[in-house]
């Protein structure tokens, strides 16, 4: 009985071993999906650039290479996971090449190209394991932006309300000032809706619009975090607002006071809209993390605003604001890289791939703006250099001011 059992076991083992080579031959080969997606993306960028410059043959060659040399490799594991998506992207690739072949307008070529890019994002989400790093970074950025911009608006509003309490008859104009604040909040929401409308109906590519928004956001980030130091800018801004409040009260012009409340808050609101447009443009799979950070930031902001405006307490916000300035400066470096990448994807800028540099997961690369191309890396290094030089100049100016004050005291 035992011998018979051993014979059966040996027979099963022999059958398994004999089946192993066949299974190996029919198995799925190992594919570096991230590397293939990066190559596809780079080739599509170069193809669109060539197409916009009128080199239709080169554009067609590059688009064909993106499909034959790289997407067909991705198809092998993709078919096992989502065969419908595989067929859909095959169709979009074919449609894009056909439009290139007949010399269709660039805007028509962009339609299947955007569908392909959306598909590449979904494939990245399927096969990449980003862990908690990317969601945490995006959540933190969304939280810090609304909290930082909101705190600045609350501090300015608290200073204006305190000024009105000190001026004879100023307390009666609180309602007018708050009406201006309410209008500013409504205008902020209207601005966001306007941006959404423009993105949906504008007769230009989505990448070009996102690049414009990114560079506008970088300009505001640069202005608020570097060109004017936060302390100096805050003091000048408060002095300007208080002077305007005095002019409005002395002239009895309630409209001017209403406009003052509007200006004080809408400045921060416009910055907030631009920053969140950049975050929400990262893709649908990251928007929930942006929404969570925004929601938590609004809750914390409401508590901080109550302490400042209602209880009159002075909160230790200096450390947070300084840390927020550093994070916003880093965010501007990320956003400038993203803006350059959008111009590359729209075909308005070359993409010189630096193969020796490491790659990041697609979502993390979109957030940080880091793409291994000469143009994006150069833009980010230039931005970092500007911030570094500016920080050194600011330290030198402060040291010189302290030295002058000491010399005056000594004399």
pLDDT of amino acid 293? 92
pLDDT of amino acid 241? 61
pLDDT of amino acid 251? 57
Mean pLDDT of 112-138: 78
Indicate the range of 14-23, 265-274, 369-378, 390-399 predicted with least confidence.
14-23
Mean pLDDT of 396-402: 79
pLDDT of amino acid 183? 92
For the cut 90, the answer to whether the pLDDT of residue 408 exceeds it is no
pLDDT of amino acid 239? 61
Give every CB contact of residue 299 below 8 A, 6+ residues apart in sequence.
none
pLDDT of amino acid 10? 43
Most confident of 29-43, 112-126, 305-319: 112-126
For the cut 50, the answer to whether the pLDDT of residue 134 exceeds it is yes
For the cut 50, the answer to whether the pLDDT of residue 248 exceeds it is yes
For the cut 50, the answer to whether the pLDDT of residue 232 exceeds it is no
pLDDT of amino acid 16? 42
The percent of residues above 70 in pLDDT, for the chain, comes to 78
pLDDT of amino acid 403? 78
SS (H, E, C) the chain: CHHHHHHHHHHHHHHHHHHHHHHHHHCCCCCCHHHHHHHHHHHHHHHHHHHHCCCHHHHHHHHHHHHHHHHHHHHHHHHHHCHHHHHHHHHHHHHHHHHHHCCCCHHHHHHHHHHHHHHHHHHHHHHCCCCCHHHHHHHHHHHHHHHHHHHHHHHHHHHHHHHHHHCCCCHHHHHHHHHHHHHHHHHHHHHHHHHHHHHHHCCCCHHHHHHHHHHHHHHHHHHHHHHCCHHHHHHHHHHHHHHHHHHHHHHCCHHHHHHHHHHHHHHHHHHHHHHHHHHHCCCCCCHHHHHHHHHHHHHHHHHHHHHHHCCCCCCCCHHHHHHHHHHHHHHHHHHHHHHHHHHHHCCCCCCCECCCCCCCCHHHHHHHCCCCEHHHHHHHHHHHHHHHHHHHHHHHHHHHHHHHHHHHHHC
Mean pLDDT of 158-182: 75
Across the chain, mean pLDDT equals: 77
For the cut 70, the answer to whether the pLDDT of residue 11 exceeds it is no
| Tens-digit pLDDT profile for residues 178-205 | 888 889 999 999 998 888 888 777 666 6
pLDDT of amino acid 8? 45
For the cut 80, the answer to whether the pLDDT of residue 67 exceeds it is yes
pLDDT of amino acid 377? 92
For the cut 90, the answer to whether the pLDDT of residue 296 exceeds it is yes
Dihedral of alpha carbons 109, 111, 114, 118, sign: negative
* Model confidence band, residue 13 (pLDDT cutoffs 50, 70, 90): very low
Cβ(66)–Cβ(92) under 8 Å? no
For the cut 70, the answer to whether the pLDDT of residue 117 exceeds it is yes
pLDDT of amino acid 203? 61
pLDDT of amino acid 61? 92
Indicate the range of 190-199, 311-320, 328-337 predicted with least confidence.
311-320
Name which of 96, 93, 82 is nearest 124 in CA terms. Answer: 82
Stated pTM of the model: 0.65
Indicate the range of 88-102, 147-161, 307-321 predicted with least confidence.
307-321
Tell me the backbone φ, ψ of residue 50, rounded to 5 degrees. -65, -40
For the cut 90, the answer to whether the pLDDT of residue 407 exceeds it is no
């Amino acid at each position: 009985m035992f011998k018979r059992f051993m014979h059966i076991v040996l027979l099963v083992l022999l059958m398994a071993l004999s089946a192993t080579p066949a299974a190996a031959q029919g198995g799925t080969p190992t594919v570096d999906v991230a590397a293939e997606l990066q190559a596809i993306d780079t080739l599509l960028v170069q193809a669109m650039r060539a197409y916009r410059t009128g080199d239709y043959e080169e554009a067609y060659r590059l688009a064909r290479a993106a499909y034959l040399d790289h997407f067909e490799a991705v198809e092998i594991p993709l078919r096992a996971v989502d065969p419908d998506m595989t067929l859909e992207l095959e169709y979009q690739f074919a449609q894009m090449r056909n439009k290139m072949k007949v010399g269709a307008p660039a805007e028509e070529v962009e339609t299947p190209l955007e569908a392909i890019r959306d598909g590449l994002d979904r494939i990245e989400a399927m096969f990449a394991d980003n862990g908690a790093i990317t969601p945490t970074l995006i959540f933190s950025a969304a939280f810090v932006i609304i909290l930082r911009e909101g705190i600045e608006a609350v501090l300015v509003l608290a200073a204006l309300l305190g000024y009105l309490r000190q001026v004879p008859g100023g307390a009666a104009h609180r309602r007018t000032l708050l009406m201006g604040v309410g209008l500013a909040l409504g205008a902020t929401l209207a601005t966001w809706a306007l941006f959404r409308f423009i993105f949906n109906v504008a007769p230009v590519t989505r990448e070009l619009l996102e690049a414009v928004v990114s560079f506008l956001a970088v300009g505001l980030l640069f202005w608020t975090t570097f060109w004017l130091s936060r302390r100096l800018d805050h003091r000048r801004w408060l002095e300007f607002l208080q002077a305007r409040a005095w002019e409005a009260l002395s002239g009895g012009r309630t409209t001017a006071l209403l406009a003052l409340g509007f200006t004080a808050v809408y400045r921060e609101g416009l910055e907030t809209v631009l920053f969140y447009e950049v975050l929400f443009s990262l893709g649908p799979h990251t928007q929930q993390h942006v929404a969570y950070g925004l929601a938590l930031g609004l809750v914390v902001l409401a508590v901080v605003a109550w302490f400042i405006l209602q209880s009159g307490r002075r909160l230790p916000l200096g450390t947070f604001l300084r840390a927020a300035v550093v994070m916003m400066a880093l965010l501007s470096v990320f956003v400038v890289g993203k803006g350059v990448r959008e111009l590359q994807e729209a075909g308005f800028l070359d993409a010189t791939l630096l193969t020796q540099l490491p790659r990041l997961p697609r979502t993390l690369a979109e957030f940080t703006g880091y793409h291994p191309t000469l143009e994006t890396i150069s833009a980010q290094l230039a931005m970092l250099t500007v911030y570094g030089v500016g920080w050194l100049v600011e330290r030198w100016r402060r040291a010189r001011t302290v030295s002058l004050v000491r010399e005056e005291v000594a004399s």
